[in-house]
Structure 1
Amino acid sequence: MTKFFSFSFKNRIAFNYIISGAFLIAIVFLFIYNIVKFSVNQHINEAIQEELYKHLDDVSTDSNETYLIHVDQWRAREHNSISVNPVFVEFYDNNKQLIDKSPNLKNSNLKLLSDEQNNLFIDAVLNEIPVRQLQTVIRNNNKVVGYLVVAMSMEDFEIVQILKNILIVIFPLILIALFFIARFFAGRSILPVKTIIDTSSQITRDNLQMRIPLPPNKDELYALSQNINNLLDRIEDAIDREKQFTSDASHELRTPLAIIKGTMEVLIRKPRNQYEYEEKINFCISEVDRLNKMVDQLLLLARFENQKQNINNESIYLNALLLDQLTRFSEKIATKKITINSDFSSDFYINSDAYLVSIIVGNLISNAIKYTNNFGEISIILSQNNEILSFTIIDNGIGISQTDLEKVFHSFYRADSLNHTTIKGTGLGLSIVKRLCELLNITISIESELNVGTIINLSFPLAKLK
């Protein structure tokens, strides 16, 4: 049953169009039919009633309640001839006995009806010809002395039946014509859809450069094509980032493994003293630690990329969170003799996920410490502007060039790493920060100048205290 009604999109449009068209046409046809039917009925009824009044004027009664019918007037009205709409007349006495009738009835008689049907239009048959008759009583001094029956042929009513037959015949013909017209215009209307289908069928994972041509009219199909193109842009960008991420990850993972393997091979080539063994083993341990850290960050980034992290919404005392992170890195700060300037003018609260915010803040402080020279300065500022709370961290470290600034949030990207080989890192920290900021609806911006320093700003919606 489903397959039987499984029309194409073009035919469904045409089918829906003729369904609505059929409803409207049926209403119009019914309106026309009923108007014509009412008009013809009204015309026949008025004609019969007019004849009735005329013949009532031709009848009078004497003192003995005897009919006096003006025969000359009958003849003048040509009741003895057959016309297009002949009028038939009969007179009855108060005993319902026929007294006189119009000559055109000849050997036929109209049917005298019961008194309950007086002054009502009644459809009847005369010699198998449909007629409509009207009867009324003839009174003399408020006493019934007879009956007058007037009938008229219903030939005019055949027009109504003819109209009905015509409408019934042309109704399906009009619907069939409308279907093909609607199908033609529907086919032209969905040409852009066919273009979308044809183009989409040619787009594959290895051929994401193709885009759907935009229709000339900026209508719904234009918006659809544009949205599909935007979706393809995002998919292409995601696949490119996935390829780059896979390439960089495999490279970054192979490097420490190769170093560890090379160190071990060198170590077993000949006997070594205890100091050399300890030195090489400690070096391998440091590389393993770096590898573990990289794997942890990769797993963390992958979890956020898949959006499988359940985000909590809790009130966070940001001042305390920052102090905890500074305490965590206190040993590194002391080693590099870095001065920390913190400006907390008041207590600040935000509504967010405390664990994820601590990762963001921890990575930013770690980077600031890592890229700040010995005896440098780091400033941490919390401020409020309307309903926005700003966290700003400023360092006077090595800075980032403008060409590298746009890439710092890419996975495994490390700006000018060849000139700073002593600074260890995986290039994943800012990627994680960027992803977490997107998940938590935190706005992040970065400004930097080479050999001057870097400014990173986070904007949080301010928590409303209860």
Structure 2
Amino acid sequence: MVIYQKMFKKLSIKNRIALIYSFSFTVILGLIFGVLFFVVKNGVNQVMYETLNEEINSHVNFVLHEPIFKSYVPEREWEEVEHTDLALNPVFIAIYDNDFNLVEHSPNLVDPKFQWKKNQAENTPYYTEVNSIKMLMSQAQLIHHGEKVGYVIVALSTKHNQLALEYLETSLMFIFPIAVLLIFIVARYSASNSIRPVFKIIDTAQKITETNLNERIPLPKNKDELFQLSKTINDLLDRLELQIIKAKQFSADASHELRTPLSIIKGTLEVLIRRERKQEEYQDKIQYTLQQVDRLYQLVEQFLLLSRTENNSIKIFKSTFDLKEEITNCLVRFDFLIKEKSIKIVLEGLQPMLANNSKEYLGIIIDNILSNAIKYTPIHGSIIISCYLKNNKYHIVFQDNGKGIQPEFLKELHERHFRVLDEKSHDISGYGLGLNIAYKLAQLCNALISIQSTKEKGTEVTLTIDSFTD
């Protein structure tokens, strides 16, 4: 048994399916053939029993109901076909008197040597052999008005019926292996067609590499389990492709953005070691290097935050805080840059605003929006920060009087590394990550960022946040 199991496991899946189907259908077919043969055999025997009982009862009833006993058989009885023919369903009859002397017999009974069996019940069919021929026989006493007048023995030859059953058995035995073979062929063909999408899955999986991620499994026409499997794998490949693209993009972005400050730091240090310099020059170069290190640190922090937002690994911890205080703290953090460009900050409608949200991430959003406004506001320009409450939502508006943005670029502002580069913004430093991070964090915080801009007049960024209500 273990050997067969090992052999079965070594077969291909379509052969295993075909064998299972074939075995199941073979068992069912065997049962059907067996039941068919049993039903036919019993039907044939039942017909013989009924014929035998009908024949013997007709003779018994004839003698029993005859007014005056004159004959053992009705007139013209022996002229019936079943009593004269030997080829087709012959019925043999022998009638004896009380002394068991033969007095009547059917014409087809050439050698009337039927024996009365004393131990055999009357009107009960039994099998016996006469001259090497198997017979189904029955016997009964002939009674006339309560007086026994003789005996009747009726016999049917089972030869033709037996031959018919043998032909049927031979036919079934011949058809059975052919049917099993055909079942196996059909089952194997059906199994091959059924698992064809599996081979397509295998072929597609073998074609997929890191440089060829666009291969997909052709979906079957029938929306069955294999369709669901193929679609699920295609969806999985879509997600994997997206993650790999994100990983490549992140790697490319990081290498691209980190290269510039690292090159500056490397170049500055190489300049320092070329020759002896004054103390002031060392301090100046070291200070410049530290600024680049700070730039690197901020850049790495932004990349890490961006990676966490894209991988959905950020957890939002809500707390109740005052948005006015957060805006004030943000202005304090950017006070140096604001004073450096002599930017005028105008606050309109700023009042205590309670929000139940992530204080940390809303602070980052406000920082990135204000940072962009400061970058693109000219020297001696102005930034207006206004706040108002509408429909249980706080609307915080940051409006600068910078160069503005062309309408065709507005939809791309939240894309990573997108920057409007022209002759007026070429010297403005940045990584193109701030608004991308702000948009992603806003989605997590259930906030909304909308931007309106007019070329040469300025840009207006509105941050909409749910208000806190008890």
Pair 1:175 & 2:180 matched: yes
Q: Indicate how the Cα distance of structure 1 residues 392 and 127 shifts in structure 2: closer, same or farther if over 3 A, else same.
A: farther
Deviates most, 363-372 or 416-425: 416-425
Q: 1:203 aligns with which of 189, 208, 230?
A: 208
Matches for 1:292-303 after TM superposition, within 5 Å: 292-303=297-308
Which string of whole-angstrom CA distances, capped at 9 and with x for unpartnered residues, describes residues 15-68 of structure 1?
Answer: 4554565466556545644553454234223311221222213434999xx996
Pair 1:59 & 2:52 matched: no
Contact residue 131 and residue 151 of structure 1 kept, 8 A: yes
Q: Distance in 2 between matches of 1:125 and 1:436?
A: 102
Q: Which residue of 2 aligns with 1:368?
A: 369
Pair 1:49 & 2:53 matched: yes
Contact residue 323 and residue 353 of structure 2 kept, 8 A: no
Matches for 1:239-258 after TM superposition, within 5 Å: 239-258=244-263
Matches for 1:373-384 after TM superposition, within 5 Å: 373=377, 375-379=382-386
Q: Distance in 1 between matches of 2:13 and 2:247?
A: 37
Which string of whole-angstrom CA distances, capped at 9 and with x for unpartnered residues, describes residues 225-273 of structure 1?
Answer: 6766665555445434433321221232232222233334444544324
Contact residue 411 and residue 431 of structure 1 kept, 8 A: yes
Identity %: 31
Q: CA deviation at 1:205?
A: 1.6
Q: Distance in 1 between matches of 2:8 and 2:105?
A: 65
Q: Distance in 2 between matches of 1:23 and 1:463?
A: 73
Q: Indicate how the Cα distance of structure 1 residues 348 and 254 shifts in structure 2: closer, same or farther if over 3 A, else same.
A: closer
Deviates most, 243-252 or 217-226: 217-226
Q: Which residue of 1 aligns with 2:268?
A: 263
Amino acid at match of 1:51: E
Q: Indicate how the Cα distance of structure 1 residues 136 and 197 shifts in structure 2: closer, same or farther if over 3 A, else same.
A: same
Q: Indicate how the Cα distance of structure 1 residues 254 and 62 shifts in structure 2: closer, same or farther if over 3 A, else same.
A: closer
Give ranges in structure 2 of 5+ residues lacking alignment.
none
Which string of whole-angstrom CA distances, capped at 9 and with x for unpartnered residues, describes residues 315-356 of structure 1?
Answer: 654xx364563343141476555345579999776xxxx6xx
Contact residue 324 and residue 353 of structure 2 kept, 8 A: no
Pair 1:395 & 2:401 matched: no
Q: Distance in 1 between matches of 2:441 and 2:149?
A: 108
Pair 1:109 & 2:115 matched: yes
Contact residue 448 and residue 463 of structure 2 kept, 8 A: yes
Deviates most, 330-339 or 157-166: 330-339
Q: Distance in 1 between matches of 2:153 and 2:253?
A: 109
Q: CA deviation at 1:6?
A: 4.1
Q: Distance in 1 between matches of 2:142 and 2:197?
A: 80
Q: Indicate how the Cα distance of structure 1 residues 272 and 17 shifts in structure 2: closer, same or farther if over 3 A, else same.
A: same
Contact residue 391 and residue 459 of structure 1 kept, 8 A: yes
SS in 1 for 2:382: coil
Contact residue 132 and residue 151 of structure 1 kept, 8 A: yes
Q: TM-score, normalised by structure 2?
A: 0.70
Give ranges in structure 1 of 5+ residues lacking alignment.
none
SS in 2 for 1:246: helix
Amino acid at match of 1:282: Q
Q: Which residue of 2 aligns with 1:338?
A: 345
SS in 2 for 1:69: coil
Pair 1:453 & 2:447 matched: no
Q: Indicate how the Cα distance of structure 1 residues 213 and 403 shifts in structure 2: closer, same or farther if over 3 A, else same.
A: farther
Q: CA deviation at 1:376?
A: 1.8
SS in 2 for 1:59: helix
Pair 1:150 & 2:154 matched: yes
Q: Distance in 2 between matches of 1:142 and 1:455?
A: 125
Q: Which residue of 2 aligns with 1:329?
A: 330
Matches for 1:187-202 after TM superposition, within 5 Å: 187=192, 194=199, 197-202=202-207
Q: Indicate how the Cα distance of structure 1 residues 61 and 315 shifts in structure 2: closer, same or farther if over 3 A, else same.
A: same
SS in 2 for 1:396: strand
Which string of whole-angstrom CA distances, capped at 9 and with x for unpartnered residues, describes residues 376-415 of structure 1?
Answer: 224556766xxxx877554324555455555544544444
SS in 2 for 1:164: helix
Which string of whole-angstrom CA distances, capped at 9 and with x for unpartnered residues, describes residues 141-186 of structure 1?
Answer: 7899987553322232442343233223312312312332444465
Q: Distance in 1 between matches of 2:385 and 2:442?
A: 22
Q: Distance in 1 between matches of 2:264 and 2:179?
A: 84
Q: Which residue of 2 aligns with 1:132?
A: 136
SS in 2 for 1:245: helix
Q: Which residue of 1 aligns with 2:293?
A: 288
How many residue pairs match? The answer is 442
SS in 2 for 1:376: strand
